Structures are given as structure tokens and as C-alpha cells.
Amino acid sequence: MRVMPVLETERLVIRPFVMDDLGAVHQLYVAIGWVDAEATPEEQLEVRRHYVEWGVLNHEQLARLYQPPYGDRAVVLRDTGQLIGVCGLVPYIEPFGQLPFFGGVRDGLATAEMGIMWAIAPAYQRQGYATETARVLADYAFNALRLKHVIATTDYDNLASLGVMRKIGMLIEKNPYSDPPWLQVVGILENNR
């Protein structure tokens, strides 16, 4: 099986979700504004319950199928075990070829890339936790999965994520086209090992 192990840094533990994470994950999503404004608080909590359940099951099932360890994980403080964020290895299927790094050809075809994602609770931002998280995910992708490169995406206004991308050494490319609108900025980190 291809199980992603628990990853540790000096201050953090990156581990699979457990159902007891539901409350903390829900509060994180509310705090960072990743909610459906039209949904009731109860509906939002139910959506988050499905998300955590999916995370728990996804971790086990992908390993059993010998698939890449895609999916979200908990970011917890090593000293206290408090959940302060979420992160993961995520599949991206987009027209990356239109970016200069991938050839700069706008042919409308999509390619698959493995990305890293992170979201840290506002009370813990600007303390280096996102950089630590992104770095340990990239190291795992390079050392254990032997990937050639990983990506991360964000929008033009997310200066914090752009800062994390730069701190871990990503090449930052802006989409030269307006579409797709969710593919505005891509950070690319190559495996130089």
C-alpha cells in the first residue's frame, strides 16, 4: 500500500484527519471564509462533516488501491496537538501548457499535475506555519513519491500564499490569459535532487 506517513517538522505534525477534527476544521473554514454564504450554519457544518469523513476514508482507500496519496490532512501543533490548519496533496487538471514553464502553448488541452495546498487559521498566520507545511509536503513529494515537480495555485491578491511560494523556492508564473479565471498564479517547485 502507498500510505502517506505522518509528517513532522520542528513545530508541526501533518496527519490524516480523524472525526474528532470536525469542530476545529469547521471553525477554521468559517474563520478563513471558505463557507457558502447562502447555507445555514447547520448546513455548513454538515458539508464540513462530509469533508472530514471523505478525508478519513480517502486516506485509507487510496492506499489500498495503490494510488497516489491525494487528499487533505490536518496540520496540528506538535506540542499541544491543536489543529491549526489543513493541507494536502491535490490533483490539478488544467491547461497548464499555456504557462511559459510548461511550453506556453494555448491549445485548450489539460494536463494533470500534483499540487500542494495549505490553509492556516488566522490566529496562527504570519508565524511561518504555512511555509513549514508547504516545505514538508514538497519534501515528501520529492523524496518519497520521486516527483519531478509540484505546483501550488492562488489568485493575484493572495500575497500570503505568494510569499509562502517564494519562501520555499517556487518559480511564480502568472497565467497570460484570463481563462480559466481560477488559474491566475501558479507556483512551480522542481525536484533538484
Mean pLDDT, the chain cut into blocks of 10 residues (193 residues total): 88 98 97 93 96 94 92 98 98 95 93 97 98 98 96 95 98 92 94 87
Residue 179 has a pLDDT of 86
Instruction: Name the one residue in this structure whose C-alpha cell is 484570463.
Output: 178
Residue 177, in any domain of the structure: yes
In a domain, 1, yes or no: no
Residue 15: C-alpha distances to residues 39, 47, 67, 148, 156 (Å):
29, 21, 18, 24, 30
Domain that holds residue 179: 7-190
Q: How many domains does the chain have?
A: 1
The answer to whether residue 102 is domain-embedded is yes
- Predicted TM-score (pTM) of the model is 0.94
Prior bond of 68 cis (ω within 30°): no
CA distance 74 to 12: 10
CATH at residue 167? 3.40.630.30
The shares of helix, strand and coil residues in the chain, as percent rounded to the nearest 5, are 35, 25, 35
Output the pLDDT for position 158.
Answer: 94
Q: Is residue 100 one of the residues assigned to a domain? A: yes
Position 3 scores a pLDDT of 85
CA distance 146 to 61: 21
CA distances from 87 to 43, 95, 106, 107 (A): 23, 23, 30, 31
